[in-house]
Structure formats: C-alpha cells, structure tokens
C-alpha cells in the first residue's frame, strides 16, 4: 500500500501531515492507498509557495503562459489513458467514461490556450478632447479550488487552466476519495514547464478546507461539491473577504411529453440516470411523464435499465461501475428502501447486486422507482446513485411548476417533438443548464457551467467567459498627454467630457 503525499512548490512532500484516510478500489473493495491529510501548516506552506510563484508568474507575458498551456494540453492528451485508469481505480466509473471526463477537461485547457483573445481589453479614443480611455484585466493572486470526488480530473480542470492562464497561482484541494488524478496533473504541469509553486495540491478534509477559506493570502475560492458544503464555503470565505464561486448539488428533472419518441427518450434517460452510476451533478434523477406519456415510457425505461451491464470499470464490457465508497452505497440503498416504504413502486431493483468475481465491490444496480411523489425522501434528497424516480403530471405547465418548486436548479431536459413546448419549457424553468432532447446538457468549455438556486452560491458560473472574469479584476485607465502650451482646462467642478 502506498501513501499519497501533497504536491507543494513543484515536489511531493508529507509536510507536517500525520493523519490519513483510506483510498478504496470500489470494484474490488480493497483499501489500496493511504492519503495524507493536511494540517493548517501544510496549507500555509502551499499558499506561501503559490504566493512566491505569483511574483513572477503574475507578471509573465501572455505568450509565456500560453506556451506552457499548449505543452500541458499535449501531455495530458498523450497521458489521457493513464489518468483515466487512475480515475477508474479510485472512483469506479468505467474506463471509457473516465476517458470522456479527461476529454471534457482538456476542452477547458484548449479554451485557456486562447486566453490572449479573452484578455483583450477595450479602448475608446477621444472620450473627451485629448483624453483616451482603456480597460484591461489583471490576475487576483493565489486562488484555490476545492473539488468533489465524482470528476477527479474534469472538475479541477474547470478551474486551474483558466486561473493559471490568467496569471494566478493555484492551490488545489481535491476529494480525499480519489486523489491520484490530481497528482498526475501536477506531474504533467511540471513536465510542461510550469514554474514551481504555480500549481500545488494539498490533500485533506475539513481541516485543510477551513485553512484555505480563512487564509489571508488566498484571494478567491472555487468550490464544487454538495449543497450544504457549498453554502458553508461561500459564507465562510466571503466573510473573510474572498471572491467565491461555490457550485452545489442537484436534482435534475427530465420531462417527457406524449409527442416524444419514447424509445429515444428512454435510451437517453437510462444513459443519463445510470452513466457513472448516477454520480454526476448533471445526472437525470427525476423524470416527469406528462399526460399519456407515462405507461408507454415506463415499458421502454424498464427494458433499458435491465439491459445495463454492471461490472468493474476496468472491464471493457462494463457500462456502469461500482459506487465510490461503502458508505455511499449504503446511503443509496437507504433511499431506495425509503421510496418503497413511502409508496413508490420499485420497478427495477438494484439492491443487493453481486458481480461475480467482485463480490466485495461496492455495487448497486440500475434502479427505477415509479409512482414517486414530491414528498418522498427519494425525491427530496439528492441520492447521487443509479436511481431514477418517475413522477407524473397532467400538463407541461404542471411539470414546469414542479421543477421550479424544487430547491435545486442545475440541469434539466425536455423530450418532445414540439418546438413550441420546448420553447415554453426553456423560458419557464428556473434552471441554469437546459437540454432539448439532450439529457445531460453540459455546456462546452467556451460557455460557462453553472446552476441556479441551491446549485450555485456566488455570482459567477465556472470556466468559459465567466471563469475569466472570476479569476481577474478590471482596471479602467483615463489618460491625457498634454502638448506643451495647451491650456490645462483644470477646474474644481466634477470632470465632464468636452
């Protein structure tokens, strides 16, 4: 068993950490690594290293930065398979899905390679006689990212390529459940020529997070994780004067209208509900069948759920892997039990699934609960597992009202062949990311990603143009170069244009 250390100032170090937490292989149930958990002094060492590096990185030319970013992109591309394997072995998701996550992260790196265009300021000639005005943006300094287990490569890559391209230096606190991808990314930065201290990784739990939130030399916090922690991070870090974007949990609904192609809708619903074992913040976990869509849809959904091949993520024939930890598995099973107890009809039951040869793995099979109502625990909680709850409504308006009454607003989708109904839906829902016959509408890197309501605390969505704004602050310069002999025009009145 290996012990995973931090990455501070361009090298691995244990620092002053002595506490550890286990890193599992969810497919085998094996405790495969021990992860060191940072003390506040380790966090301080990382912030100091990042602070020292900022002095030159923050002042480096745009082309120096993009050169390193292009190198980074090439090496991640080359080592994508290795990163995907590390993800599969600690998270459990199947290799093809892990490779997809690396690809979506790379798209943000590619966006960041284009940072010269994004950092172009504005210029206004002759705003007053002999006076010009222009604007530009500068980096914040040391910024930190705190990330969840479910995308150990992609979610950090939503943050640091943009932050670093803008001239900031970065401290990442990845999830303690699957830390190895972030260590590979740190190695790759070094290989790409990023100066020491620009990118640092500290592993840890609440102790490390609190040390980052309170640290006076950290200018901004990007957080992605569950809603209670997102809210806590936002409150604590804004109280200490930081800029914060904190993306939280989700309960994503799809509505299916009677005019939809039911076979198509069911295939996509199953993929969106059971892909990555439902451990995606954009997973569809609730479906509302509108009017007569219900029974026909359920026949198709049941068949799709039963057809999913569950197995270890390293097996290329597996479509869905295990759950990340035994605790998460037990929590998911608890919600299925509650749904059944409270009147839901468990149409497809993934409880107690045993995968031959992997009897100690943390598996739960695809589960469909029909006849769910909005007061049941399986609806009011984010289950974060392969469980699809199906509700019914009489009309599109009622379905939109149900979505809007839900406290989350991350993603949603409509299945229909009616442009008018789709337009009504997209304009009416209080949700940040919307799919029309697309169940997992994750925006491309050149748009920004973010939800509404309890799915986001703070003003900025992540990556894309809003990411650039988040990691920089603006200056506006008003300038005059008086010629010798020009009357100064100075006056004690409020300056106005002439």
Please, which residues have CB within 8 angstroms of residue 369's CB and are 6 or more apart in sequence? 336, 339, 340, 344, 345, 346, 347, 378, 387, 388, 389, 390
HSE-up (13 A, CA, CB side) for residue 193: 10
Are residues 135 and 185 in contact, defined by beta-carbon separation less than 8 angstroms? Answer: no
**Dihedral angle, C-alpha 175, 336, 89, 107, nearest 10 °:** -60
Give the range of 5-13, 148-156, 302-310, 363-371 binding ligand NAD by CB under 6 A: 148-156
Given the complex with ligand NAD, which of 224 and 388 has the nearer CB atom?
A: 224
- Determine contact, residues 426/403, Cβ cutoff 8 Å: no
Distance of CA 24 to the CA centre of its chain: 22
225 binds ligand NAD (CB under 6 A): yes
Q: Which is nearer to ligand NAD, 31 or 206 (CB)?
A: 206
Binder of ligand NAD out of 115, 281, 333, 429 (CB under 6 A):
281
Pairing of strands 243-247, 456-457: antiparallel
DSSP at 456: E
Contacts of 150 (CB under 8 A, 6+ apart): 91, 276, 279, 280, 281, 324, 384
Q: Is 147 in the site for ligand NAD (CB under 6 A)?
A: yes
Residue 255 contacts residue 394 (beta carbons within 8 Å)? no
Choice from 173, 242, 300, 453 touching ligand NAD (CB under 6 A):
173
Interaction residues for ligand NAD, span 180-209 (CB under 6 A)? 205-206, 209
Examine residue 214 and tell whether it contacts ligand NAD (CB under 6 A).
Answer: no
Select 260 or 273, whichever has its Cβ closest to ligand NAD.
273
64: Cβ contacts below 8 Å, ≥ 6 apart:
none
- Segment interacting with ligand NAD (CB under 6 A) among 244-252, 260-268, 300-308, 426-434: 244-252
Site string for ligand NAD, 443-472 (x = CB under 6 A): --------x---x-----------------
Closer CB to ligand NAD, 139 or 248, in the complex:
248
Which DSSP helix (H) or strand (E) runs through 427? helix 419-428
- Which one of 76, 102, 155, 422 is in contact with ligand NAD (CB under 6 A)? 155
Task: Select 7 or 54, whichever has its Cβ closest to ligand NAD.
Answer: 7
For ligand NAD, the binding residues in 383-422 under the rule CB under 6 A are: 384, 410
- Whole-angstrom Cα distance, residue 380 to residue 375? 7
- Taking CB atoms, the residue at the shortest distance from ligand NAD is 225
Judged by CB, which is closer to ligand NAD: 214, or 259? Answer: 214
Q: Residues 286 to 325: which contact ligand NAD by CB under 6 A?
A: none
Does residue 166 carry a catalytic annotation? no
Q: How far is CA 359 from CA 106, 238, 279, 386, in A?
A: 35, 46, 21, 19
Residues with active-site annotation: 281
Residues that bind ligand NAD (CB under 6 A): 146-151, 155, 173, 175-176, 205-206, 209, 224-226, 229, 247-250, 281, 382, 384, 410, 451, 455
């Amino acid at each position: 068993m290996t012990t995973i250390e931090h990455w501070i100032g361009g090298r691995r170090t244990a620092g002053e950490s002595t506490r550890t937490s286990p890193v599992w292989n969810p497919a085998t149930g094996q405790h495969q690594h021990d992860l060191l958990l940072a003390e506040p002094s380790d966090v301080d060492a990382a912030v100091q290293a990042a602070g020292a590096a900022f002095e030159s990185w923050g002042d480096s030319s745009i082309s120096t930065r993009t050169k390193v970013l292009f190198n980074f992109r090439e090496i991640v591309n080359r080592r994508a398979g290795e990163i995907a394997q590390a993800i599969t072995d600690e998270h459990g998701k199947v290799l093809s899905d892990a490779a997809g996550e690396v690809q979506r992260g790379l798209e943000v790196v590619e966006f960041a390679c284009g940072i010269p265009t994004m950092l172009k300021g504005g210029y206004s000639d002759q705003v007053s006689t002999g006076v010009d005005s222009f604007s530009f943006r500068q980096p914040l300094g040391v910024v930190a990212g705190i990330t969840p287990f479910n995308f150990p490569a992609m979610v950090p890559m939503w943050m640091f390529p943009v932050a670093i391209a803008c001239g900031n230096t970065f401290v990442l606190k990845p999830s303690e459940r699957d830390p190895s991808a972030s260590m590979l990314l740190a190695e790759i930065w070094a290989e790409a020529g990023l100066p020491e201290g620009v990118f640092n990784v500290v592993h840890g739990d609440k102790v490390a997070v609190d040390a980052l939130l309170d640290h006076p030399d950290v200018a901004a916090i990007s957080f992605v994780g569950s809603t209670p922690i997102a809210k806590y991070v936002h409150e604590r870090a804004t109280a200490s004067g930081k800029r914060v974007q904190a993306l939280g949990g989700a309960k994503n609904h799809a509505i299916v209208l009677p005019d939809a192609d039911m076979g198509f809708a069911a295939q996509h619903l199953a993929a969106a509900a059971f892909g990555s074992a439902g451990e995606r913040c954009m997973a569809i976990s609730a479906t509302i069948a509108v009017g007569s869509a219900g029974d026909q849809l359920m026949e198709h959904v049941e068949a799709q759920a039963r057809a999913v091949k569950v197995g270890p993520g390293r097996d290329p024939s597996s479509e869905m892997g295990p759950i990340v930890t035994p605790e998460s598995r037990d929590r998911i099973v608890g919600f299925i039990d509650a749904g059944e107890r409270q009147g839901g009809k468990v149409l497809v039951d993934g409880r107690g699934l045993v995968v031959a040869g992997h009897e100690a793995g943390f598996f739960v099979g695809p589960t469909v609960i029909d006849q769910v109502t909005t007061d049941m625990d399986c609806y009011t909680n984010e289950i974060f597992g392969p469980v699809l709850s199906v509700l019914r409504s009489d009309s599109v308006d009622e379905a939109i009202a149900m979505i809007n009454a839900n406290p989350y607003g991350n993603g949603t989708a409509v299945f229909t062949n009616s442009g008018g109904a789709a337009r009504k839906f997209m304009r009416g829902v209080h949700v940040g990311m919307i799919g029309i016959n697309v169940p997992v509408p994750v925006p491309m890197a050149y748009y920004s990603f973010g939800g509404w309501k309890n799915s986001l605390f703070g003003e900025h969505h992540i990556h894309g143009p809003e990411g650039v704004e988040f990691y920089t602050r603006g200056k506006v310069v008003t300038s005059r170069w008086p010629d010798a002999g020009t009357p100064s025009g100075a006056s004690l009145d409020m300056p106005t244009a002439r």
